[in-house]
Structure 1
Amino acid sequence: MRVLLIDGEPDRAAAVKAGLEAAGFTVVATAPEAVDLTRLVRDSAADIIVCDLDDPGRDALESMRALNRDEPRPVVVFAERGDPAQIEAAIEAGVAAYVVEGLAPARVRPVLEVAIRRFRAHQALRAQLEQAQATLAERTIIERAKGMLMQRRRLSEEEAYRLLRRWAMDRSRRLVDVAHDFLHEI
Protein backbone atom coordinates (compact mmCIF):
# COMPACT_ATOMS: atom_id res chain seq x y z
CA MET A 1 0.00 0.00 0.00
CA ARG A 2 1.21 3.45 -0.94
CA VAL A 3 0.91 5.93 1.93
CA LEU A 4 0.73 9.71 1.96
CA LEU A 5 1.95 10.82 5.38
CA ILE A 6 0.76 14.11 6.85
CA ASP A 7 2.80 15.30 9.83
CA GLY A 8 3.89 18.81 10.74
CA GLU A 9 6.83 17.77 12.89
CA PRO A 10 9.79 16.59 10.75
CA ASP A 11 11.39 14.41 13.45
CA ARG A 12 8.11 12.71 14.29
CA ALA A 13 7.32 12.33 10.57
CA ALA A 14 10.64 10.53 10.03
CA ALA A 15 9.88 8.16 12.92
CA VAL A 16 6.34 7.52 11.67
CA LYS A 17 7.63 6.93 8.15
CA ALA A 18 10.12 4.38 9.48
CA GLY A 19 7.32 2.70 11.46
CA LEU A 20 5.03 2.55 8.45
CA GLU A 21 7.76 1.10 6.26
CA ALA A 22 8.64 -1.43 8.97
CA ALA A 23 4.95 -2.45 8.95
CA GLY A 24 5.15 -3.13 5.20
CA PHE A 25 3.81 0.14 3.78
CA THR A 26 5.50 2.36 1.21
CA VAL A 27 5.50 6.06 2.09
CA VAL A 28 5.30 7.79 -1.29
CA ALA A 29 5.06 11.37 0.00
CA THR A 30 5.13 13.43 3.17
CA ALA A 31 3.44 16.78 3.72
CA PRO A 32 3.48 19.08 6.74
CA GLU A 33 -0.26 19.78 6.76
CA ALA A 34 -3.53 18.31 5.50
CA VAL A 35 -4.42 20.97 2.98
CA ASP A 36 -5.12 20.31 -0.70
CA LEU A 37 -5.15 16.57 -0.07
CA THR A 38 -6.79 15.89 -3.42
CA ARG A 39 -3.79 17.33 -5.28
CA LEU A 40 -1.33 15.57 -2.97
CA VAL A 41 -3.08 12.23 -3.54
CA ARG A 42 -3.16 12.71 -7.31
CA ASP A 43 0.51 13.72 -7.40
CA SER A 44 1.67 10.83 -5.20
CA ALA A 45 -0.85 8.16 -6.34
CA ALA A 46 -1.29 7.25 -2.66
CA ASP A 47 -3.67 4.46 -1.69
CA ILE A 48 -4.15 5.59 1.90
CA ILE A 49 -3.56 8.81 3.87
CA VAL A 50 -2.11 8.73 7.37
CA CYS A 51 -2.39 12.00 9.30
CA ASP A 52 -0.40 12.27 12.51
CA LEU A 53 -1.77 15.53 13.88
CA ASP A 54 -1.85 17.15 17.27
CA ASP A 55 -5.21 18.74 16.58
CA PRO A 56 -6.90 18.45 13.13
CA GLY A 57 -8.24 21.91 12.31
CA ARG A 58 -11.16 23.04 10.20
CA ASP A 59 -9.01 23.50 7.08
CA ALA A 60 -7.66 19.96 7.39
CA LEU A 61 -11.16 18.55 7.81
CA GLU A 62 -12.42 20.51 4.81
CA SER A 63 -9.53 19.16 2.74
CA MET A 64 -10.44 15.62 3.87
CA ARG A 65 -14.07 16.26 2.87
CA ALA A 66 -12.95 17.42 -0.60
CA LEU A 67 -10.72 14.36 -0.94
CA ASN A 68 -13.59 12.06 0.01
CA ARG A 69 -15.76 13.72 -2.65
CA ASP A 70 -13.18 13.95 -5.46
CA GLU A 71 -10.63 11.13 -4.92
CA PRO A 72 -12.02 8.81 -2.23
CA ARG A 73 -9.26 7.12 -0.25
CA PRO A 74 -9.06 5.74 3.28
CA VAL A 75 -7.89 8.45 5.68
CA VAL A 76 -6.56 7.56 9.12
CA VAL A 77 -6.07 10.30 11.70
CA PHE A 78 -3.83 9.79 14.71
CA ALA A 79 -4.49 12.70 17.07
CA GLU A 80 -3.37 13.69 20.53
CA ARG A 81 -6.84 14.78 21.64
CA GLY A 82 -10.26 13.30 21.09
CA ASP A 83 -12.90 15.99 21.38
CA PRO A 84 -16.20 14.24 20.49
CA ALA A 85 -17.31 17.09 18.21
CA GLN A 86 -14.00 16.98 16.37
CA ILE A 87 -14.18 13.21 15.95
CA GLU A 88 -17.74 13.54 14.61
CA ALA A 89 -16.60 16.24 12.16
CA ALA A 90 -13.74 14.01 11.00
CA ILE A 91 -16.05 11.04 10.42
CA GLU A 92 -18.45 13.30 8.47
CA ALA A 93 -15.47 14.44 6.39
CA GLY A 94 -14.84 10.83 5.38
CA VAL A 95 -12.14 9.78 7.85
CA ALA A 96 -12.10 5.98 8.07
CA ALA A 97 -10.37 5.83 11.47
CA TYR A 98 -9.69 8.41 14.17
CA VAL A 99 -7.21 7.18 16.78
CA VAL A 100 -6.72 9.23 19.95
CA GLU A 101 -3.44 9.48 21.87
CA GLY A 102 -1.17 9.46 18.87
CA LEU A 103 0.46 6.84 16.76
CA ALA A 104 1.93 3.79 18.48
CA PRO A 105 4.10 1.66 16.17
CA ALA A 106 2.51 -1.62 17.30
CA ARG A 107 -0.99 -0.34 16.40
CA VAL A 108 -0.20 1.02 12.95
CA ARG A 109 -0.78 -2.04 10.78
CA PRO A 110 -4.01 -3.25 12.47
CA VAL A 111 -5.48 0.27 12.52
CA LEU A 112 -4.68 0.81 8.83
CA GLU A 113 -6.09 -2.60 7.86
CA VAL A 114 -9.35 -1.89 9.72
CA ALA A 115 -9.53 1.58 8.15
CA ILE A 116 -9.07 0.12 4.67
CA ARG A 117 -11.80 -2.47 5.24
CA ARG A 118 -14.14 0.15 6.71
CA PHE A 119 -13.47 2.44 3.75
CA ARG A 120 -14.18 -0.33 1.24
CA ALA A 121 -17.42 -1.24 3.03
CA HIS A 122 -18.47 2.41 3.01
CA GLN A 123 -17.68 2.72 -0.69
CA ALA A 124 -19.73 -0.42 -1.42
CA LEU A 125 -22.70 0.99 0.52
CA ARG A 126 -22.32 4.28 -1.32
CA ALA A 127 -22.39 2.47 -4.68
CA GLN A 128 -25.47 0.50 -3.63
CA LEU A 129 -27.23 3.70 -2.58
CA GLU A 130 -26.41 5.39 -5.88
CA GLN A 131 -27.70 2.34 -7.78
CA ALA A 132 -30.91 2.27 -5.73
CA GLN A 133 -31.46 5.98 -6.34
CA ALA A 134 -30.91 5.52 -10.08
CA THR A 135 -33.32 2.58 -10.16
CA LEU A 136 -35.94 4.58 -8.27
CA ALA A 137 -35.54 7.51 -10.67
CA GLU A 138 -35.98 5.17 -13.64
CA ARG A 139 -39.09 3.60 -12.12
CA THR A 140 -40.54 7.05 -11.50
CA ILE A 141 -40.08 7.99 -15.16
CA ILE A 142 -41.70 4.74 -16.31
CA GLU A 143 -44.63 5.21 -13.89
CA ARG A 144 -45.17 8.78 -15.11
CA ALA A 145 -45.15 7.64 -18.74
CA LYS A 146 -47.60 4.83 -17.95
CA GLY A 147 -49.86 7.32 -16.18
CA MET A 148 -49.86 9.65 -19.17
CA LEU A 149 -50.61 6.78 -21.55
CA MET A 150 -53.44 5.59 -19.30
CA GLN A 151 -54.90 9.09 -19.18
CA ARG A 152 -54.48 10.07 -22.84
CA ARG A 153 -55.30 6.74 -24.46
CA ARG A 154 -57.65 5.40 -21.81
CA LEU A 155 -55.53 2.29 -21.26
CA SER A 156 -55.24 0.06 -18.24
CA GLU A 157 -51.96 0.07 -16.35
CA GLU A 158 -51.00 -3.27 -17.86
CA GLU A 159 -51.84 -2.09 -21.40
CA ALA A 160 -49.82 1.09 -20.94
CA TYR A 161 -46.84 -0.93 -19.70
CA ARG A 162 -47.11 -3.38 -22.62
CA LEU A 163 -47.23 -0.47 -25.07
CA LEU A 164 -44.09 1.07 -23.57
CA ARG A 165 -42.35 -2.32 -23.69
CA ARG A 166 -43.35 -2.81 -27.33
CA TRP A 167 -42.00 0.65 -28.23
CA ALA A 168 -38.75 -0.17 -26.43
CA MET A 169 -38.36 -3.52 -28.22
CA ASP A 170 -39.23 -2.03 -31.63
CA ARG A 171 -36.54 0.62 -31.15
CA SER A 172 -34.02 -1.66 -29.38
CA ARG A 173 -33.87 0.79 -26.50
CA ARG A 174 -34.25 0.60 -22.77
CA LEU A 175 -37.76 1.00 -21.39
CA VAL A 176 -36.77 4.01 -19.30
CA ASP A 177 -35.31 5.78 -22.34
CA VAL A 178 -38.50 5.27 -24.35
CA ALA A 179 -40.59 6.45 -21.37
CA HIS A 180 -38.35 9.52 -21.01
CA ASP A 181 -38.67 10.37 -24.71
CA PHE A 182 -42.46 9.91 -24.57
CA LEU A 183 -42.74 12.30 -21.60
CA HIS A 184 -40.70 14.93 -23.42
CA GLU A 185 -42.76 14.63 -26.60
CA ILE A 186 -45.97 15.62 -24.83
Structure 2
Amino acid sequence: MRETPNFTGWRATVLHREDNTTERLPRQLKLIGFEVTVQWQPLDAADLPDFVLVDADQGWDGLLPWSGKNAPRPLVALLGSEAPGRIAWAMQQGVGAIIAKPLASSAVYPALVMALGIHRERKAVIDKLNHLEERVRLRPLVHAAVERIIAERHVDEELAYTILRNCAMRRRMPMEQIAASILGGAEPMPEAG
Protein backbone atom coordinates (compact mmCIF):
# COMPACT_ATOMS: atom_id res chain seq x y z
CA MET A 1 0.00 0.00 0.00
CA ARG A 2 1.76 3.12 -1.18
CA GLU A 3 -0.77 5.85 -0.49
CA THR A 4 -2.62 6.48 2.72
CA PRO A 5 -6.29 5.52 2.47
CA ASN A 6 -9.32 7.75 2.79
CA PHE A 7 -11.69 6.14 5.28
CA THR A 8 -14.65 8.43 4.56
CA GLY A 9 -17.85 6.39 4.58
CA TRP A 10 -16.22 3.23 5.95
CA ARG A 11 -17.99 1.41 8.78
CA ALA A 12 -16.08 0.60 11.97
CA THR A 13 -17.19 -1.39 14.97
CA VAL A 14 -15.51 -0.89 18.32
CA LEU A 15 -15.85 -3.97 20.54
CA HIS A 16 -15.28 -2.48 23.98
CA ARG A 17 -17.13 -1.95 27.25
CA GLU A 18 -18.32 1.57 28.02
CA ASP A 19 -15.46 3.64 29.48
CA ASN A 20 -13.12 6.51 28.60
CA THR A 21 -11.87 4.64 25.52
CA THR A 22 -15.36 4.28 24.09
CA GLU A 23 -15.86 8.02 24.41
CA ARG A 24 -12.58 9.12 22.80
CA LEU A 25 -12.10 6.45 20.13
CA PRO A 26 -15.45 6.84 18.31
CA ARG A 27 -14.99 10.60 18.29
CA GLN A 28 -11.55 10.19 16.65
CA LEU A 29 -12.84 7.61 14.17
CA LYS A 30 -15.67 9.94 13.15
CA LEU A 31 -13.16 12.73 12.54
CA ILE A 32 -11.29 10.37 10.20
CA GLY A 33 -14.53 9.67 8.31
CA PHE A 34 -15.84 6.41 9.77
CA GLU A 35 -19.41 5.55 10.65
CA VAL A 36 -18.94 4.04 14.12
CA THR A 37 -20.78 1.43 16.15
CA VAL A 38 -19.74 0.61 19.71
CA GLN A 39 -20.84 -2.66 21.25
CA TRP A 40 -19.73 -5.27 23.75
CA GLN A 41 -21.29 -8.32 22.22
CA PRO A 42 -20.14 -10.70 19.48
CA LEU A 43 -20.03 -9.41 15.93
CA ASP A 44 -22.62 -10.68 13.48
CA ALA A 45 -20.85 -12.66 10.73
CA ALA A 46 -23.57 -11.70 8.25
CA ASP A 47 -23.02 -7.97 8.69
CA LEU A 48 -19.31 -7.32 9.17
CA PRO A 49 -18.11 -3.71 9.21
CA ASP A 50 -15.17 -2.53 7.08
CA PHE A 51 -12.94 -2.30 10.16
CA VAL A 52 -12.97 -3.86 13.63
CA LEU A 53 -11.29 -2.48 16.75
CA VAL A 54 -11.39 -4.89 19.68
CA ASP A 55 -10.54 -4.66 23.36
CA ALA A 56 -7.81 -7.28 23.62
CA ASP A 57 -7.63 -6.89 27.40
CA GLN A 58 -11.10 -8.37 27.90
CA GLY A 59 -11.83 -10.05 24.55
CA TRP A 60 -12.84 -13.71 24.49
CA ASP A 61 -13.05 -16.49 21.94
CA GLY A 62 -16.35 -16.10 20.14
CA LEU A 63 -16.36 -12.29 20.28
CA LEU A 64 -15.20 -12.25 16.66
CA PRO A 65 -17.05 -14.48 14.17
CA TRP A 66 -13.91 -16.05 12.72
CA SER A 67 -11.25 -18.32 14.06
CA GLY A 68 -7.58 -18.30 13.33
CA LYS A 69 -5.38 -15.58 11.97
CA ASN A 70 -7.25 -15.05 8.68
CA ALA A 71 -9.47 -12.18 9.75
CA PRO A 72 -11.85 -11.20 6.93
CA ARG A 73 -11.57 -7.52 7.91
CA PRO A 74 -8.73 -5.30 9.11
CA LEU A 75 -8.46 -5.71 12.86
CA VAL A 76 -6.91 -3.40 15.48
CA ALA A 77 -6.39 -4.44 19.09
CA LEU A 78 -6.92 -1.97 21.93
CA LEU A 79 -4.46 -3.08 24.57
CA GLY A 80 -3.55 -1.69 27.96
CA SER A 81 -2.00 -4.83 29.34
CA GLU A 82 1.41 -6.37 28.78
CA ALA A 83 0.10 -9.83 29.65
CA PRO A 84 1.49 -12.37 27.18
CA GLY A 85 -1.84 -14.19 27.10
CA ARG A 86 -3.71 -11.07 25.99
CA ILE A 87 -1.13 -10.33 23.29
CA ALA A 88 -1.30 -13.96 22.12
CA TRP A 89 -5.12 -13.80 22.01
CA ALA A 90 -4.95 -10.66 19.84
CA MET A 91 -2.46 -12.29 17.48
CA GLN A 92 -4.63 -15.42 17.23
CA GLN A 93 -7.53 -13.24 16.07
CA GLY A 94 -5.48 -11.79 13.19
CA VAL A 95 -4.73 -8.34 14.57
CA GLY A 96 -2.78 -6.11 12.19
CA ALA A 97 -2.02 -3.25 14.61
CA ILE A 98 -2.27 -2.32 18.26
CA ILE A 99 -3.42 0.93 19.86
CA ALA A 100 -2.16 1.23 23.43
CA LYS A 101 -4.54 2.25 26.17
CA PRO A 102 -4.98 4.84 27.48
CA LEU A 103 -5.77 6.01 24.01
CA ALA A 104 -3.73 8.74 22.36
CA SER A 105 -5.68 10.31 19.47
CA SER A 106 -2.51 10.56 17.40
CA ALA A 107 -2.13 6.75 17.48
CA VAL A 108 -5.47 5.95 15.81
CA TYR A 109 -4.90 6.86 12.15
CA PRO A 110 -1.43 5.25 11.88
CA ALA A 111 -2.79 2.04 13.45
CA LEU A 112 -5.69 1.98 10.99
CA VAL A 113 -3.36 2.45 8.02
CA MET A 114 -1.02 -0.25 9.34
CA ALA A 115 -3.86 -2.72 9.97
CA LEU A 116 -5.31 -2.13 6.51
CA GLY A 117 -1.94 -2.58 4.81
CA ILE A 118 -1.19 -5.78 6.72
CA HIS A 119 -4.69 -7.11 6.05
CA ARG A 120 -4.28 -6.53 2.30
CA GLU A 121 -0.84 -8.14 2.29
CA ARG A 122 -2.15 -11.20 4.14
CA LYS A 123 -5.07 -11.49 1.75
CA ALA A 124 -2.75 -11.28 -1.27
CA VAL A 125 -0.54 -14.03 0.16
CA ILE A 126 -3.57 -16.24 0.88
CA ASP A 127 -4.95 -15.66 -2.63
CA LYS A 128 -1.59 -16.51 -4.21
CA LEU A 129 -1.23 -19.60 -2.06
CA ASN A 130 -4.74 -20.76 -3.01
CA HIS A 131 -3.92 -20.19 -6.69
CA LEU A 132 -0.70 -22.19 -6.42
CA GLU A 133 -2.43 -24.99 -4.53
CA GLU A 134 -5.06 -25.15 -7.27
CA ARG A 135 -2.37 -25.41 -9.93
CA VAL A 136 -0.59 -28.17 -8.02
CA ARG A 137 -3.89 -30.04 -7.62
CA LEU A 138 -4.44 -29.83 -11.38
CA ARG A 139 -0.92 -30.99 -12.33
CA PRO A 140 -2.17 -34.56 -12.99
CA LEU A 141 -4.25 -33.09 -15.83
CA VAL A 142 -1.10 -31.64 -17.38
CA HIS A 143 0.66 -34.98 -17.03
CA ALA A 144 -2.30 -36.81 -18.59
CA ALA A 145 -2.41 -34.34 -21.50
CA VAL A 146 1.33 -34.75 -22.06
CA GLU A 147 0.89 -38.54 -22.07
CA ARG A 148 -1.93 -38.22 -24.60
CA ILE A 149 0.18 -35.98 -26.86
CA ILE A 150 3.03 -38.52 -26.63
CA ALA A 151 0.68 -41.34 -27.61
CA GLU A 152 -1.07 -39.53 -30.45
CA ARG A 153 1.82 -37.49 -31.90
CA HIS A 154 4.59 -40.04 -31.26
CA VAL A 155 6.94 -37.53 -29.65
CA ASP A 156 9.07 -37.68 -26.52
CA GLU A 157 7.93 -36.25 -23.17
CA GLU A 158 9.95 -33.03 -23.46
CA LEU A 159 8.52 -32.19 -26.89
CA ALA A 160 4.98 -33.11 -25.76
CA TYR A 161 5.31 -30.73 -22.81
CA THR A 162 6.65 -28.00 -25.13
CA ILE A 163 3.70 -28.53 -27.50
CA LEU A 164 1.23 -28.22 -24.61
CA ARG A 165 2.99 -25.13 -23.22
CA ASN A 166 3.07 -23.44 -26.64
CA CYS A 167 -0.62 -24.18 -27.17
CA ALA A 168 -1.42 -22.64 -23.77
CA MET A 169 0.66 -19.56 -24.57
CA ARG A 170 -0.99 -19.09 -27.99
CA ARG A 171 -4.43 -19.32 -26.38
CA ARG A 172 -3.34 -17.24 -23.37
CA MET A 173 -4.66 -19.86 -21.01
CA PRO A 174 -3.06 -21.63 -18.06
CA MET A 175 -1.55 -24.99 -18.95
CA GLU A 176 -3.91 -26.74 -16.57
CA GLN A 177 -6.93 -25.27 -18.34
CA ILE A 178 -5.70 -26.15 -21.83
CA ALA A 179 -4.82 -29.67 -20.62
CA ALA A 180 -8.36 -30.12 -19.25
CA SER A 181 -9.81 -28.87 -22.54
CA ILE A 182 -7.68 -31.32 -24.55
CA LEU A 183 -8.56 -34.24 -22.28
CA GLY A 184 -12.25 -33.29 -22.33
CA GLY A 185 -12.33 -33.05 -26.10
CA ALA A 186 -13.19 -29.35 -26.16
CA GLU A 187 -9.77 -28.49 -27.59
CA PRO A 188 -8.29 -30.26 -30.62
CA MET A 189 -5.03 -32.12 -30.13
CA PRO A 190 -2.25 -29.58 -30.73
CA GLU A 191 0.06 -30.18 -33.65
CA ALA A 192 3.68 -31.10 -33.10
CA GLY A 193 6.26 -28.43 -33.90
Give yes or no for TM over 0.5: yes
Secondary structure, counterpart of 1:113 in structure 2:
helix
Matching residue within 23, 28, 42 for 2:36 = 28
| Separation (CA, whole Å) in 2 of partners of 1:56 and 1:30 | 14
CA drift at 1:113:
1.4
* 1:142 pairs with 2:150: no
Q: How does 1:31-50 map to 2 (within 5 A)?
A: 31-33=39-41, 35-41=42-48, 46-50=49-53
Extract structure 1 runs of 4+ deviating beyond 6 A: 151-154, 165-169, 181-185
TM-aligned CA deviation for residue 111 of structure 1: 1.3
Q: 1: CA distance between counterparts of 2:155 and 2:178?
A: 18
2:158 is matched with which residue? 158
In the aligned structure 2, how far is the partner of 1:168 from the partner of 1:118? 35
Q: Name the structure 2 match of 1:4.
A: 13
Identity across the alignment (%) = 23
CA drift of 1:179 comes to 3.1
TM-score by length of 1: 0.69
Greater shift, 121-130 or 147-156, is seen at: 147-156
Going from structure 1 to structure 2, the CA distance change for 1:145 and 1:31 (only over 3 Å counts) comes to same
Q: Deviation at 1:11?
A: 5.6
**Alignment root-mean-square deviation, CA:** 3.7
Contact 2:15 2:53 in 1 (8 A): yes
1:73, 1:98 → 2: CA distance? Answer: 15
Give 2:23's aligned amino acid: A
**Structure 1 alignment gaps of length 5 or more:** none
> What's the offset of the Cα at 1:55?
2.0
Local SS of the residue matching 1:117: helix
- Equivalenced residues, count: 176
Partner of 2:25: 16
Find the residue that maps to 1:58 and give its secondary structure. coil
TM-score, length-scaled by structure 2: 0.67
How far apart, in 2, do the equivalents of 1:148 and 1:82 lie? 62
Rounded Cα–Cα distance in structure 2 between residues aligned with 1:87 and 1:183: 52
Q: Assess if the C-alpha contact under 8 Å between 2:14 and 2:54 holds in 1.
A: yes
In the aligned structure 2, how far is the partner of 1:175 from the partner of 1:53? 47
Distance 2:29 2:178 in 1: 55
1: CA distance between counterparts of 2:129 and 2:58?
33
Contact residue 75 and residue 115 of structure 1 kept, 8 A: yes
Q: Is the CA contact 1:48–1:75 (under 8 Å) kept in the aligned structure 2?
A: yes
Bigger proportion of residues as helix: 1
* Separation (CA, whole Å) in 2 of partners of 1:21 and 1:113: 15
